Amino acid sequence: MLILLRKITSPLSNLSKNACRALSSSSAPKEEKIKVKNCDINYVKVGNGAHHALFMPGALGTIWTEGKPQVEGFDREKFTLVTWDPPGYGKSRPPEKEFTTDFYEKDADMAYEFMKALKIPKYSLLGFSDGGITGLIHAAKYPDSVRKLVVWGTNSFILPIELEMYKKIRDINAWSTRMREPLIEIYGKELFARYWAAWVDGMEAIYNAKNGNICNELLKNIKCPTYILYGQKDPLVDSVHASHLHTNIDNSSKYACRALSSPSAPKEEKIKVKNCDINYVKVGNGAHHALFMPGALGTIWEGKPQVEGFDRENFTLVAWDPPGYGKSRPPEKEFTTDFYEKDADMAYEFMKALNIPKYSLLGFSDGGITGLIHAAKYPDSVRKLVVWGSSSFILPIELEMYKKIRDINSWSKRMKSGEPMIEIYGEELFARYLAAWVDGMEAIYNTKNGNICNDLLKNIKCPTYILYGQKDPLVDSVHASHLHTNIDNSR
């Protein structure tokens, strides 16, 4: 639920316009079904652009387990994006999936028939993992239908070491709960276990029957522009696959993504600032320094898209657990009426302790409020400011909404189970923190007429970029207009 409260929607990494419809949970696209051969295919379709594209998820993947960033982040004016649950996956059942040695080709044929049923004759393909394999075969077999192809985490053959790895994880009981749960929620434990074992058996059958070849012979038939993404240190898909695809597909290019590699996760460090050991990460070697500040109760990893996706050659990015949040405890957070200003002061002292005198600020939700105050109080330190989902005052309707979700005992089990803050703080401390945060908002509203930092906006002199959701159900667009009107050199 706090995910909704804090508007967490892959901050910045997927925001390509000032007014980002993707921030609105109320604008979630409707799932539909269409009959294709013997299967009712479940899909969503978003956007009104002339360039159509189909996103295809990986093994056992669905629209929402793997296509959410695309569905929410695509430019809907330039593109029309279709995302499906592949035949036998997710809600595209019955029938159940059969992992025969030609199931990738069958999926490619079904994708062609599916787009034909939607009356979309020409489109691009976006394929992740298994969906990328389907995309390779599709582009090779139906070249007149495919404009462009993008694949990531994809291969056209199976290495011996990969087969051995698949076999080691065939039994889902050996997986961690965190890894299992998303797919158990979709399929149920029994079917998920059976499906996964069948997928591994399918890989072994391909390896034994075809010497590991999935679709090597078809690569020469791919004529459309093809973009191959891969992880330099991807522990599951060797970079040899990207090189092989690039060598054998005309008109292709490849790009190495460090963010795809889990082993490259940055090391968390601590530094003493006043009475608090601040937990932080620092990535990159660029001359332009930036500080990412998360929202209410948020931590470094609310900034995961920034930490993983920032241009590390041109920027050095620092992300922190704000004082009293995450691992920057003790002491615990005190939600006084001036806690935003205290955080802004601590951020200044924190960057000074890191010997970074000049930097830009990236602030999400509450972190954006801290950023506004910081930029106003320390103008000589701030190069640029970017805020999203942020405000400088509290509306009456917002306060009422906060009060309604103050007690987590009124939340459904489903809401609690999807709340990452419970994992970070434990249910007891999270409940206490959330209640204290809401009480803090009420105190600001009652003592300051809802004013958080309106009086400081005139002091912000740095270039400021304000992102907002046109249909954001939690932060009215009036806040973005107010910030833009009252901050010089803003857009």
Residues 339 and 252 grouped into a single domain: no
Which stretches within 378-426 are classed as H helix? 396-404, 413-417, 420-425
Q: What is the pLDDT of residue 477?
A: 85
Is the whole-model pTM more than 0.75?
no
Are residues 48 and 110 located together in one domain of the fold?
yes
E strand map for 183-304: 226-231, 252-257, 269-273, 276-284, 288-293
Per the domain annotation, does 223 fall within a domain?
yes
Residue 81 maps to a domain: yes
Place of tokens 């296509």: 67
With 0-12 CB in 10 A as exposed, 13-18 as middle and 19+ as buried, what is 161?
Answer: exposed
Residue 102 maps to a domain:
yes
Map tokens 């910081």 to a residue. 374
Q: What pLDDT, on the 0 to 100 scale, is given for residue 354? A: 98
Q: For position 19, what pLDDT does the model report?
A: 34
Domain stops at, among 261, 278, 299: 261
CATH label of the domain that carries residue 326: 3.40.50.1820
Which residue, of 261, 280, 301, is where some domain finishes? 261
Closest CA to 280 of 177, 389, 359: 359
Are 299 and 280 members of one domain?
Answer: yes
pLDDT of residue 418: 57
104 occurs within a structural domain: yes
pLDDT, position 69: 86
pLDDT at 312: 86
Is there a single domain that holds both residue 162 and residue 200? Answer: yes
For residue 397, count other CB atoms closer than 10 A to its CB: 9
Same domain, 367 and 389: yes
Residues 134 and 219 in one domain: yes
Number of independent structural domains in the chain: 2
**Same domain (yes/no): 314, 297:** yes
> Residue 290 sits in which domain range?
265-486
Do both 107 and 94 map to the same domain? yes
Kind and range of the H or E run holding 166: helix 160-168
Classify residue 159 by burial, with Cβ atoms within 10 Å: 0-12, 13-18, 19+: middle
164 and 305 housed in the same domain: no
Is 19 contained in some domain?
no
> What confidence tens digit (pLDDT) does each residue in 107-162 have?
999 999 999 999 999 999 999 999 999 999 999 999 999 999 999 999 999 999 89
Q: Is residue 7 part of a domain?
A: no
241 lies in the same domain as 312: no
Q: Are residues 226 and 335 in the same domain?
A: no
Residues 283 and 432 in one domain: yes
Q: Are 150 and 141 in contact (CB under 8 A)?
A: no
Q: Does residue 439 belong to any structural domain of this protein?
A: yes
- 345-350 — which CB contacts under 8 Å span 24+ positions? 345/377, 346/273, 346/274, 346/276, 346/278, 346/322, 347/291, 347/293, 347/320, 347/322, 347/374, 348/374, 348/377, 348/378, 348/381, 349/273, 349/274, 350/271, 350/273, 350/278, 350/280, 350/291, 350/320
Q: Looking at the domain assignment, is residue 171 inside a domain?
A: yes
Below-50 pLDDT ranges, the chain: 1-26, 259-264
Is the Cβ–Cβ distance between 375 and 460 less than 8 Å? Answer: yes
Last-in-domain residue among 203, 231, 261: 261
